[in-house]
Chains A and B, each alone.
Chain A
Amino acid sequence: MPETGGRGRFLRPLLGPLLRPLLFLIPAGFLGLLFLYPLGSILAVSLFPGGDFDYAAFADILQRPALRGAAWFTLWQAVLSTLLTLAAAMPAAYVFARYDFPGKSLARAAITVPFVLPTVVVGSAFLALLGPSGALPVDLSRSIWAILAAHVFYNYAVVVRTVGGLWAHLDPRVEEAARVLGAGRLRTFWEVTLPRLRPAIAAAGAIVFLFTFTSFGVIIILGGLRYATIEVEIYRQTVSYLNLSVAAALAVLQLAAVSLILLLYARYQERGIRQQQLRPAEENSRRPRGPLEWGFLAANLGFAAVFLGGPLLILIERSVNTAEGYALTYYRSLGETGGTTLFAPPGEALRNSLLFGVTAMLIAVVIGVMAAVVVSYGRGPMARGFDMLLMLPLGTSAVTIGFGFLVAFDYPVDLRTSPVLIPLAHSLVAVPFVVRITAPVMRSIRAPLRESAAMLGAPPARVWREIDLPLITRSALVGAAFALAISLGEFGATAFIVRPDTPTLPIAIFRLLGQPGSLNFGRAMAMSTVLMVVTAGAILLVERLRVGNTGEF
């Protein structure tokens, strides 16, 4: 039957002909001004540094070993981090997909915690563990091992949830059929299970690769002077050497590389699309049987507990471990600037962060919900194109966004010294998330729901208020909590546009880590703990709100 209760129709009585275009124009203007314009400025700075065409910056990158090295390091550490993460997390993906055990949903939530933590907190936690004044006797903080460990820590949950998510729905009887036909355990895994998991492994691998390829906070904290990714190099060229054209050229290369990766990934997934029989997850999992299976389960959960829980516990421990024994000295001293060369007491950063966070959250929700309305109620190629445009900031690194702001907003009004750029940058990062969370809910409101309300006597405006609004509100709240968490932890973009006297929490932590003395190290640990608790709180709120299946995250 043709669907005739068109979605768009329900907006008509609510918004006049003058207001409706604004629904599209405001988010479009937001993206144009805050995303496309800065990207254009980066391109301009890289190719027309002095106003005339000059590709010297690109030539520079090829000729200078330090820059070539950064590009090479970016690539190989990302490949290695991805492989290590897959290796570490695949057994856990199996455990969560196939076994039922007490506390499973709690365990699943717990392993997701590191993924939502700000990069600065992750950096601090590994510094607390492996650094010069860390819990372990060896100082590994300037080594590749610290970086790799932090990357695996950070992305473990991506693999467990993505691969395990598909695995849980794959019918285990297919493996049993292979065994009956004479294939051994290993052979079955290699020839039956692995090919079926391929789309999820590719997806998880691509995400982890992108995250580690654009890694900034972890590297700048743990890598010291020896290890620098392209991201870190963009930052150094900008902040230390004021070499904007080289930084811009690096950003262009980085953007090209990321686009290429995304393109290859899309081609790969498209080519490999295969219909698979999926079964409800509950039917595919069971209690472990025998000491071997229980042992395997315990080993994986134990590894996750130590590897994921360890650094975070050490972080908290270091924040109260003072020269005079356990005390809250570091927390108390967050209000002072003594012993540092900072312009503002670190405690003020919490206030700034909350202020920026709430502002960014409001902007992101307003713009995001407007954009979601356009992409989910609108029809035709324009709505689809807009949908894609909205997702672009997701594939762009935070450093590129921050750098773009820096080079774009100096003319006609120099906004670079204004704190207003910070919540704007944060909301730009958060808008795609808000759209991704709210649009599916709006799309899922099917015509029969509205038609039922109409048949029961609700006029069109009442239908909107009784059906659409309550359903959208909850997902918008989820989006808001996400936006707040993103803003609180944002580091890469903020590093470029922050002013010395209005630092955010991650910036203050980063600066404290660069200051000498155990007091400052302790303060950094204390602030990281505060940031961890605040972020985890926001995410917990999200989990509480998401009772049903809303959104795509």
Chain B
Amino acid sequence: MLELRQIRLAFGNLEVLRGIDLTIEDGEVLALLGPSGSGKSTLLRVVAGLQRPDAGTVLWNGQDLTGVPPHRRNFGLMFQDYALFPHRSVGENVAFGLRMRRMDRREIERRVREVLEWVGLSEFQHRPVTNLSGGEQQRVALARSLAPEPQFLMLDEPLGSLDRVLRERLALELRGLLSDPAITGLYVTHDQEEAFTVADRVAIMNEGRIVQAGSPADLWLRPESEWVARFLGMRGLVEAEVSEGRALTPWGEFPLPPGLQNRPAGSRVTLILRPEALFLAGSAEGPFSPLAGRVSALTFRDGHYRVMVQLERGLTLEVPVELQPGRRGPSDPQAGEGAWPTSAPPQIGDSVRVGVRPELVTALEP
């Protein structure tokens, strides 16, 4: 188990780490997610022992690691651009850590083959590392850092320099490699999808602090601050007033989300209107008058339309409109009363009303 206690570090006047507390349980991979410059890579270097903190302690199974140099920590580290040794073959790269541990020559040979097989590079043992593809290099780097069986593995933006398609595939692959056998590790990235794919738990970092930590679903459903919500890509943040089972907004009203039923009337709350909670509504939705706005943009992606509805004074909501084969445009007499026939989406400039499914709305919980 890795514990960080009150880690602080400043470069000159710049405070890079401002009191970091963090625990990583055995067998757990924690992703450190944050924008560039948030201090996540520096924190990783502190854990590795490559950077000494100004204050605070790094504990491994309760033992203080301060003063233990990197080469005695038995931690593995995989760099962003892999830092493979260019003058050594694939096999020699993987064997490096084993040689440093004065392992028996035959034992090294066996282990190298075992690890290369595990990452699917058995054929590559004697090749130079200089002309491998990005994905192959990544797997060699992973094999190299895991061959000596480090007690803890760190990965610094391991997919950062690859293109998007490859990144998605390799993130899934990494997830598989890291969970069997279960590896304790720290994964640094600025990419939310990558963090959510690879890690069991995610800690979000900003300006040298950890602003929130939790499981991916936790973070998505219950962001604790506006900054986290926006960093995770949520745009529909709405100020609302609680009033007898309703949420009142300047643009209209909708049923109060179930979790907020016990809020006193008149209290204010920030609600997150995610696309999945929104639909295009008719002129009235039962006793509620839906949010009114105008269509500002319309795109088609992944099998549905994304209608951007601009409410008055700025706020824009993204509303998904599913394709429904067999139903035609608004003139179609078969179309249901009051509902938009969704195979033909509204046009830019149309006035529309946005309905809200309260059970999918959560509040920012500070």
Partner-B contacts on A (CB < 8 A): 1-2, 4-5, 446, 448-449, 451-459, 462, 466-467, 470-471, 474, 548
Contact = CB atoms under 8 A, between A and B. Distances in A.
Given A1-B42, A466-B96, A454 B83 contact: no
Nearest to B72: A457
A548 B50 contact: no
A353 B196 CA distance: 68
Given A448-B79, A449-B85, A452-B77, A457 B148 contact: yes
Given A456-B144, A457-B100, A457-B148, 8 more contacts: A2-B42, A4-B51, A452-B77, A455-B50, A455-B77, A457-B72, A457-B97, A462-B100
B45 A4 contact: yes
B212 interface: no
29 contacts: A2-B11, A2-B16, A2-B42, A4-B45, A4-B51, A448-B80, A448-B81, A449-B83, A449-B85, A451-B79, A452-B79, A452-B83, A453-B96, A454-B69, A454-B71, A455-B70, A455-B73, A455-B75, A456-B76, A456-B96, A456-B97, A457-B72, A457-B100, A457-B101, A458-B100, A459-B69, A471-B86, A548-B86, A548-B130
B51 A451 contact: no
A475 to B, nearest CB: 11
Nearest to B88: A470
B313 interface: no
Contact of B70 (A2, A454, A462, A470): A454
Interface in B121-167: 130, 144-145, 148
Nearest to B96: A456
A474 B71 CA distance: 27
B197 interface: no
A455 B42 contact: no
Contact of A456 (B80, B81, B87, B145): B145
B87 A470 contact: yes
B89 interface: no
A457 B42 contact: no
Contacts of A449: 83, 85
Contacts of B100: 456-458, 462
Interface of B: 11, 16, 41-42, 45, 48, 50-51, 69-77, 79-81, 83, 85-87, 96-97, 100-101, 130, 144-145, 148
Given A453-B96, A456-B97, A459-B71, A446 B45 contact: no
B65 to A, nearest CB: 13
A451 B11 contact: no
Nearest to A5: B50
A12 to B, nearest CB: 14
B183 to A, nearest CB: 15
Contacts of B74: 457
A453 B16 CA distance: 26
Contact of A457 (B48, B71, B83, B87): B71
B258 to A, nearest CB: 44
Question: Which of A451, A452, A462 has the most chain B CB atoms closer than 10 A to its own CB?
Answer: A452
A90 to B, nearest CB: 33
Nearest to A4: B51
Question: Which of B73, B74, B96 has the most chain A CB atoms closer than 10 A to its own CB?
Answer: B96
Contacts of B80: 448
Contacts of B70: 451, 454-455
B101 to A, nearest CB: 6
B44 to A, nearest CB: 10
Contact of B83 (A1, A2, A446): A446
Query: Which 7 residue pairs across A and B have the least CB separation, nearest first?
Result: A457-B100, A456-B97, A448-B83, A455-B77, A452-B83, A448-B79, A454-B70
Nearest to A549: B130
Contacts of A457: 71-72, 74, 97, 100-101, 148
Contacts of A458: 71, 96, 100
Question: Which of B86, B100, B144 has the most chain A CB atoms closer than 10 A to its own CB?
Answer: B100
Contacts of A454: 50, 69-71
B101 A471 contact: no
Contacts of B69: 454, 459
Contact of A451 (B77, B86, B97): B77
B141 to A, nearest CB: 8
A446 B84 CA distance: 11
A4 B45 CA distance: 10
A313 to B, nearest CB: 38
Contacts of B79: 448, 451-452
A160 B79 CA distance: 40
A449 B141 CA distance: 12
A276 B72 CA distance: 47
A467 B86 CA distance: 9
Nearest to B141: A452
B143 to A, nearest CB: 12
B50 A456 contact: no
B11 A455 contact: no
B148 A456 contact: yes
A467 B77 contact: no
Contacts of A474: 87
A446 to B, nearest CB: 7
Contacts of B130: 548
B199 to A, nearest CB: 21
B71 A467 contact: no
A524 B173 CA distance: 69
A2 B45 CA distance: 11
A180 B148 CA distance: 60
Given A1-B41, A448-B79, A548-B86, A455 B101 contact: no
Nearest to A2: B11
Contacts of A548: 86, 130
A446 B51 CA distance: 16
Contacts of A470: 87
Contacts of B50: 4-5, 451, 454-455
A451 B83 contact: yes
B112 to A, nearest CB: 13
Contacts of B81: 448
B87 A471 contact: yes
B145 A455 contact: yes
A548 B87 CA distance: 10
Contacts of A466: 85, 96
A186 to B, nearest CB: 41
Contacts of B86: 471, 548
Contacts of B41: 1
B51 to A, nearest CB: 6
Contacts of B77: 451-452, 455
A502 to B, nearest CB: 41
B111 to A, nearest CB: 13
Question: Which of A1, A453, A457 has the most chain B CB atoms closer than 10 A to its own CB?
Answer: A457
Contacts of A456: 71, 76, 96-97, 100, 144-145, 148
A456 B83 CA distance: 12
Contacts of A446: 83
A170 to B, nearest CB: 25
Nearest to B73: A455
A1 B81 CA distance: 15
B272 to A, nearest CB: 32
Contacts of A2: 11, 16, 42
Contacts of A452: 77, 79, 83, 85, 144
A548 to B, nearest CB: 7
